[in-house]
Amino acid sequence: MTVPDSHPEKRAFPLPDTAVPRLRRGVRLSFDPTRDSYVLLYPEGVLLPNETAAAVLGRCDGGADVATIVASLARDFDGVDAAQVSDLLRRLERRRLVEIVERPDGTVRDDG
Interface ranges with other proteins (CB under 8 A)? 1-3, 5-7, 24-26, 28, 30, 32, 34-35, 39, 41-46, 96, 112
Query: At residue 24, what are phi and psi to the nearest 5 degrees?
Result: -65, 160
CB of 11 to other proteins, least distance (A): 9
| Contact residues for 19 (Cβ-Cβ < 8 A; gap 6+) | 65, 66, 100, 102, 103, 104
Report the alpha-carbon distance of residue 28 to residue 94 in Å, rounded.
17
User: Please, which residue, 10 or 75, has the CB nearer to other proteins?
Assistant: 10
CB of 30 to other proteins, least distance (A): 6
User: Please, which residue, 35 or 103, has the CB nearer to other proteins?
Assistant: 35
User: Please, which residue, 76 or 111, has the CB nearer to other proteins?
Assistant: 111
Query: Which pairing describes strands 98-102 and 20-23: parallel, antiparallel, or unpaired?
Result: antiparallel
